[in-house]
Amino acid sequence: MRNRRRFLLSTAAAGCLLALSWASPPPVLADTFPSRPIRFVVPFGPGSGTDTSARYFARKLQDLTGQAVVVENKPGGNGFIAVNNVLSAPADGYTVFIGSNSTLAVNAALFRKLPYDPLADFAPLTMMMRSPAMLAVSPKAPYTDLKGLIAYARANPGKVNFGAGSAGYQLMGELLNDAAKIQTVHVPFKGASEAITAVASDTVDFTFAEVTAVQELARDGRVKTLAVASDKRVSTSPDVPTATEAGVPGFEAYTWVGAMVNARTPKAETDRLAELFSTISRMDETRAFYERLGATPMTGGPAQMHEFQKNDIALWKRIVQKAGVPRQ
């Protein structure tokens, strides 16, 4: 009798639990990141190398996640406007900074009181690409190769000038001064296109600019390219020698683009974004896309990007100090 009572009680209890389970709503599953649109903030205008990379990665990230990715251009103020926009947004992984060597390395060398710390305020996701700088001169120049330019500069110290469309290109000119033991004078311009135009019109003697900005003008005969500051020739301009081949061993200078989030972003979201960005970087389609631009995709993750960035900052700080470039 006692066993029968226990059986009836347990059966009743099970029935109550079953009824409760039918009456209760199913448990709410946590959202999978990303579960809403992502914003890419770019510190330069449309058409820049950084913007081109941002828009390519935005399309691929949208394909991988099914979430919209919006690219917002916030140029000006040495990149401070875009940086502030990212660092003041919620640190939830939905705002990504698509930065470059100028905002993430060169500024740290040029500004005494930078309103942000490129290393401490950001968590790196991955390097996206790097593009070697090309050295361009006027077709009217009295030299036809890099050795000739260096010889001319040594014979005319302080009389040869170079145009620079950004602080990054300015430091590339100073890096050449250091490597070739010459003295040339920096002439600032508002952008790389203005500096190249000045070279084409023989207003300044030479300039550094990214491959895509130079090679079309070179093909049209409006400028001459003396060297590419890379460890190997670029496929889109195979006739242009590397700086090492042209007479300055080991001279390399790159523009680069990388993705960052606010350093306060939770680790889970940061790791997921880093995984997605790295997946895009390793795609064959990505390599083909950048090769058409004379650039190279970078496939390292957060640790590699942090080390690369730290070394780049140290390089430009050394050049600023050695060249006596005034810090702002």
Q: Report the distance separating Cα 227 and Cα 233, nearest Å.
A: 9
Between residues 262 and 112, which one has the greater pLDDT?
262
- Mean pLDDT to the nearest integer, 104-118: 94
pLDDT score at 6: 47
**pLDDT in the model for residue 22:** 39
Closest CA to 273 of 2, 88, 61: 61
Q: Are 184 and 149 in contact (CB under 8 A)?
A: no
What mean pLDDT is predicted for residues 18-30?
Answer: 40
Range 293-304 average pLDDT: 90
pLDDT tens profile 218-227: 999 999 999 9
Alpha-carbon dihedral angle through residues 149, 154, 156, 157, given to the nearest 10 degrees? 120
The least confident of 29-38, 62-71, 222-231, 252-261 is 29-38
Q: Name the residue type at position 38.
A: I
Q: Are 175 and 253 in contact (CB under 8 A)?
A: yes
Predicted confidence at residue 327, as pLDDT, reads: 85
pLDDT tens profile 140-162: 999 999 999 999 999 999 999 99
- Give the per-residue pLDDT at 78: 85
232-286 per-position pLDDT tens digit: 999 899 999 999 999 999 999 999 999 999 999 999 999 999 999 999 999 999 9
Q: How are beta strands 122-137 and 296-297 bridged, if at all?
A: antiparallel
* Comparison of pLDDT for 180 and 11, the residue scoring more: 180
Averaged pLDDT score across all residues of the chain: 89
pLDDT computed for residue 202 by the predictor: 94
- Which domains are assigned to the chain? 38-130+255-323 (3.40.190.150), 132-246 (3.40.190.10)
**Selected residue with higher pLDDT from 27 and 69:** 69
pLDDT at residue 182 is higher than 90: yes
- The per-residue pLDDT for 299 is 86
Instruction: Give pLDDT, residue 76.
Output: 85
Q: How far is CA 111 from the centre of its chain?
A: 19
- Percentage of the chain beyond pLDDT 90 is 73
Q: At residue 10, does pLDDT exceed 60?
A: no
| pLDDT, position 31 | 58
Task: Tell me the per-residue pLDDT of 126-143, one tens digit each, with 9 for 90 and over.
Answer: 999 999 999 999 999 999
Please give the pLDDT value at position 227.
97
Range in 1-5, 112-116, 173-177 the model is least confident about: 1-5
Per-residue model confidence (pLDDT) at position 213: 81
* Reported pTM: 0.81
Q: Determine the 3-state secondary structure of 82 from DSSP.
A: helix
Q: Is 255 helix (H, G, I), strand (E, B) or coil?
A: strand
Nearest partner of 225 among 259, 199, 193, 255, judged by Cα? 199
DSSP secondary structure letter of residue 102: I
Which comes out higher in pLDDT, residue 325 or 70? 70
**What is the C-alpha separation between 40 and 34, in angstroms, rounded?**
14
Q: How confident is the model at residue 27 (pLDDT cuts 50, 70, 90)?
A: very low
- How much is the average pLDDT of 25-32? 48
174 sits in which H/E element? helix 167-180
* Dmax (CA) of the chain: 116
Report pLDDT digits (tens) over 266-275: 999 999 999 9
DSSP secondary structure, 262-324, as one string? ETTS-HHHHHHHHHHHHHHHT-HHHHHHHHTTT-EE----HHHHHHHHHHHHHHHHHHHHHHT
